[in-house]
Amino acid sequence: MGLRRAPVQRRSRERVQRILDAASELIVEDGVIALGTRTIAERAEVPVASLYQYFADKDEILLALVERDTAEMDAAVAEAVGALETISVRSIVTATMRAFVTIYHHRPAFVVIWWRGRTNPSVYDFCRAHNKRVAGDLLAFAEDAGLVRPGTDPQIVELAVEVGDRVFQLAFERDLRGDQRIIVEGIELVTGYLERHATSAGITAIPRPGTDDPA
Protein backbone atom coordinates (compact mmCIF):
# COMPACT_ATOMS: atom_id res chain seq x y z
CA MET A 1 0.00 0.00 0.00
CA GLY A 2 1.20 3.44 -0.89
CA LEU A 3 3.61 1.75 -3.25
CA ARG A 4 0.95 1.28 -5.88
CA ARG A 5 1.97 4.39 -7.81
CA ALA A 6 5.64 3.96 -7.32
CA PRO A 7 6.36 2.63 -10.82
CA VAL A 8 5.22 5.80 -12.49
CA GLN A 9 7.16 7.93 -10.11
CA ARG A 10 10.19 5.78 -10.56
CA ARG A 11 9.91 5.90 -14.30
CA SER A 12 9.80 9.67 -14.21
CA ARG A 13 12.83 9.85 -12.03
CA GLU A 14 14.68 7.51 -14.29
CA ARG A 15 13.84 9.62 -17.29
CA VAL A 16 14.93 12.79 -15.59
CA GLN A 17 18.20 11.12 -14.79
CA ARG A 18 18.54 9.87 -18.34
CA ILE A 19 17.98 13.36 -19.63
CA LEU A 20 20.52 14.79 -17.26
CA ASP A 21 23.01 12.10 -18.18
CA ALA A 22 22.44 12.71 -21.87
CA ALA A 23 22.97 16.42 -21.45
CA SER A 24 26.04 15.71 -19.43
CA GLU A 25 27.58 13.49 -22.08
CA LEU A 26 26.79 15.86 -24.87
CA ILE A 27 28.33 18.75 -23.06
CA VAL A 28 31.51 16.79 -22.60
CA GLU A 29 31.53 15.86 -26.25
CA ASP A 30 30.54 19.08 -27.94
CA GLY A 31 30.50 21.79 -25.35
CA VAL A 32 27.67 23.69 -23.80
CA ILE A 33 26.96 25.95 -26.73
CA ALA A 34 26.27 23.09 -29.07
CA LEU A 35 23.81 21.60 -26.61
CA GLY A 36 20.34 21.47 -28.12
CA THR A 37 17.02 20.11 -27.07
CA ARG A 38 16.81 17.80 -30.04
CA THR A 39 20.20 16.31 -29.35
CA ILE A 40 19.50 15.80 -25.69
CA ALA A 41 16.22 14.13 -26.45
CA GLU A 42 17.77 11.82 -29.01
CA ARG A 43 20.56 10.78 -26.73
CA ALA A 44 18.18 10.25 -23.83
CA GLU A 45 15.82 8.34 -26.10
CA VAL A 46 12.98 10.57 -25.09
CA PRO A 47 10.72 12.68 -27.31
CA VAL A 48 11.73 16.28 -27.40
CA ALA A 49 8.36 17.30 -26.07
CA SER A 50 8.94 15.21 -22.99
CA LEU A 51 11.83 17.37 -21.93
CA TYR A 52 9.27 20.00 -21.22
CA GLN A 53 7.44 17.64 -18.92
CA TYR A 54 10.30 17.75 -16.51
CA PHE A 55 11.96 21.05 -17.22
CA ALA A 56 10.56 24.44 -17.96
CA ASP A 57 13.16 25.13 -20.61
CA LYS A 58 16.63 24.29 -21.80
CA ASP A 59 18.32 26.41 -19.21
CA GLU A 60 16.64 24.50 -16.47
CA ILE A 61 18.12 21.26 -17.70
CA LEU A 62 21.60 22.66 -17.48
CA LEU A 63 20.89 24.11 -14.11
CA ALA A 64 19.50 20.85 -12.79
CA LEU A 65 22.60 19.12 -14.02
CA VAL A 66 24.86 21.51 -12.20
CA GLU A 67 22.78 21.28 -9.07
CA ARG A 68 22.92 17.53 -9.09
CA ASP A 69 26.68 17.52 -9.37
CA THR A 70 27.08 20.29 -6.89
CA ALA A 71 25.25 18.41 -4.20
CA GLU A 72 27.57 15.48 -4.74
CA MET A 73 30.61 17.71 -4.50
CA ASP A 74 29.50 19.40 -1.35
CA ALA A 75 28.93 16.08 0.32
CA ALA A 76 32.36 14.85 -0.68
CA VAL A 77 34.06 17.99 0.55
CA ALA A 78 32.20 17.91 3.85
CA GLU A 79 33.16 14.32 4.38
CA ALA A 80 36.81 14.88 3.55
CA VAL A 81 37.11 17.84 5.85
CA GLY A 82 35.20 16.05 8.58
CA ALA A 83 37.59 13.16 8.44
CA LEU A 84 40.72 15.21 9.07
CA GLU A 85 42.82 14.13 12.04
CA THR A 86 44.38 17.52 12.53
CA ILE A 87 43.16 20.72 11.07
CA SER A 88 45.09 23.62 9.71
CA VAL A 89 44.76 25.90 6.75
CA ARG A 90 46.93 23.54 4.80
CA SER A 91 45.08 20.37 5.75
CA ILE A 92 41.72 21.90 4.97
CA VAL A 93 42.78 23.27 1.64
CA THR A 94 44.39 19.99 0.74
CA ALA A 95 41.43 17.91 1.78
CA THR A 96 39.03 20.15 -0.05
CA MET A 97 40.95 20.28 -3.25
CA ARG A 98 41.67 16.56 -3.20
CA ALA A 99 37.99 15.91 -2.72
CA PHE A 100 37.26 17.93 -5.83
CA VAL A 101 39.83 15.96 -7.75
CA THR A 102 38.21 12.72 -6.70
CA ILE A 103 34.86 13.96 -7.90
CA TYR A 104 36.23 15.10 -11.19
CA HIS A 105 37.65 11.67 -11.75
CA HIS A 106 34.30 10.21 -10.93
CA ARG A 107 32.35 12.62 -13.09
CA PRO A 108 34.35 13.94 -15.99
CA ALA A 109 31.31 15.72 -17.32
CA PHE A 110 31.47 17.97 -14.42
CA VAL A 111 34.81 19.29 -15.45
CA VAL A 112 33.38 20.63 -18.64
CA ILE A 113 30.10 21.84 -17.26
CA TRP A 114 31.67 23.54 -14.36
CA TRP A 115 33.75 25.76 -16.62
CA ARG A 116 32.48 25.78 -20.13
CA GLY A 117 28.92 25.69 -18.85
CA ARG A 118 29.29 29.02 -17.23
CA THR A 119 28.51 30.60 -20.51
CA ASN A 120 24.94 30.04 -19.54
CA PRO A 121 23.83 32.87 -17.27
CA SER A 122 21.88 30.82 -14.81
CA VAL A 123 24.61 28.25 -14.54
CA TYR A 124 27.12 30.99 -14.15
CA ASP A 125 25.18 32.58 -11.36
CA PHE A 126 24.66 29.28 -9.68
CA CYS A 127 28.37 28.46 -9.75
CA ARG A 128 29.34 31.82 -8.42
CA ALA A 129 26.80 31.52 -5.66
CA HIS A 130 28.06 28.07 -4.91
CA ASN A 131 31.67 29.16 -4.73
CA LYS A 132 30.60 31.93 -2.45
CA ARG A 133 28.79 29.54 -0.20
CA VAL A 134 31.70 27.14 -0.12
CA ALA A 135 33.94 30.05 0.81
CA GLY A 136 31.54 31.15 3.51
CA ASP A 137 31.35 27.67 4.99
CA LEU A 138 35.08 27.26 5.00
CA LEU A 139 35.62 30.62 6.62
CA ALA A 140 33.06 29.90 9.32
CA PHE A 141 34.66 26.57 10.01
CA ALA A 142 38.15 28.05 10.11
CA GLU A 143 37.14 30.94 12.34
CA ASP A 144 35.36 28.62 14.77
CA ALA A 145 38.45 26.49 14.99
CA GLY A 146 40.62 29.53 15.50
CA LEU A 147 42.63 28.97 12.33
CA VAL A 148 42.19 32.44 10.94
CA ARG A 149 42.12 35.80 12.54
CA PRO A 150 38.64 36.82 13.60
CA GLY A 151 37.06 39.35 11.25
CA THR A 152 38.86 38.02 8.22
CA ASP A 153 37.32 39.48 5.09
CA PRO A 154 35.11 36.88 3.38
CA GLN A 155 36.29 38.20 0.04
CA ILE A 156 39.71 36.76 0.77
CA VAL A 157 38.40 33.24 1.04
CA GLU A 158 36.19 33.78 -1.99
CA LEU A 159 39.20 34.81 -3.96
CA ALA A 160 41.00 31.72 -2.80
CA VAL A 161 38.12 29.49 -3.83
CA GLU A 162 37.82 31.10 -7.23
CA VAL A 163 41.51 30.79 -7.79
CA GLY A 164 41.37 27.16 -6.75
CA ASP A 165 38.58 26.77 -9.26
CA ARG A 166 40.89 28.06 -11.97
CA VAL A 167 43.64 25.75 -10.90
CA PHE A 168 41.35 22.85 -11.56
CA GLN A 169 40.28 24.28 -14.83
CA LEU A 170 43.89 24.35 -15.86
CA ALA A 171 44.74 20.97 -14.46
CA PHE A 172 41.85 19.25 -16.14
CA GLU A 173 41.55 20.96 -19.44
CA ARG A 174 44.53 19.23 -20.98
CA ASP A 175 44.13 16.01 -19.10
CA LEU A 176 40.80 14.60 -18.01
CA ARG A 177 42.54 12.85 -15.10
CA GLY A 178 43.94 16.14 -13.91
CA ASP A 179 47.55 17.23 -14.20
CA GLN A 180 49.05 16.26 -10.83
CA ARG A 181 51.82 18.83 -11.01
CA ILE A 182 49.38 21.64 -11.41
CA ILE A 183 47.17 20.36 -8.65
CA VAL A 184 50.04 20.11 -6.21
CA GLU A 185 51.22 23.60 -7.14
CA GLY A 186 47.67 24.89 -6.86
CA ILE A 187 47.35 23.56 -3.36
CA GLU A 188 50.60 25.32 -2.46
CA LEU A 189 49.35 28.49 -4.04
CA VAL A 190 46.05 28.57 -2.25
CA THR A 191 47.51 27.43 1.04
CA GLY A 192 50.28 30.00 0.86
CA TYR A 193 47.79 32.76 0.21
CA LEU A 194 45.42 31.81 2.98
CA GLU A 195 48.19 31.35 5.52
CA ARG A 196 48.85 35.06 5.19
CA HIS A 197 45.59 35.52 7.02
CA ALA A 198 45.93 32.60 9.40
CA THR A 199 46.64 32.51 13.12
CA SER A 200 49.71 30.59 14.17
CA ALA A 201 47.42 27.70 15.05
CA GLY A 202 46.13 27.82 11.51
CA ILE A 203 49.63 27.25 10.30
CA THR A 204 50.85 24.66 12.77
CA ALA A 205 47.63 22.69 12.98
CA ILE A 206 45.43 21.62 15.83
CA PRO A 207 43.67 18.33 16.56
CA ARG A 208 40.20 17.89 15.21
CA PRO A 209 37.70 19.52 17.55
CA GLY A 210 35.64 17.00 19.46
CA THR A 211 38.48 14.56 19.19
CA ASP A 212 40.74 15.71 21.98
CA ASP A 213 38.51 15.08 25.00
CA PRO A 214 38.85 11.34 25.65
CA ALA A 215 41.81 12.22 27.83
Task: Output the CA angle 101-107-113, nearest 5 degrees.
Answer: 95
Q: Which does 34 bind (CB under 5 to 8 A by kind): a second copy, DNA, none?
A: DNA
Question: Could you give the angle at the alpha carbon of 161 between the alpha carbons of 155 and 167, nearest 5°?
Answer: 140
Residues 16-45 that bind DNA (CB under 7 A): 34-39
Minimal distance, residue 46 CB to DNA, in Å = 5
Q: Is position 102 an interface residue for DNA (rule: CB under 7 A)? A: no
**Chain residues that interact with a second copy, rule: CB under 8 A:** 31-33, 116, 119, 121, 153, 155-156, 158-160, 162-163, 165-167, 169-170, 181-182, 185-186, 188-189, 192-193, 196
The answer to whether residue 131 forms part of the interface with DNA (CB under 7 A) is: no
Q: Which of a second copy, DNA, none lies near 31, with the C-beta cut-off 5 to 8 A by kind? A: a second copy
Burial class (CB in 10 A: 0-12, 13-18, 19+), 198: buried
Q: Residue 188: which of DNA, a second copy, none does it interact with, CB under 5 to 8 A by kind?
A: a second copy
Tell whether the torsion through CA atoms of 98, 104, 105 and 111 is positive or negative: negative
CA neighbor of 26 nearest in space, from 16, 15, 37: 37
The pair phi, psi for residue 207, each rounded to 5°, is -65, 160
- Partner from a second copy, DNA, none binding residue 185, C-beta < 5-8 Å depending on class: a second copy
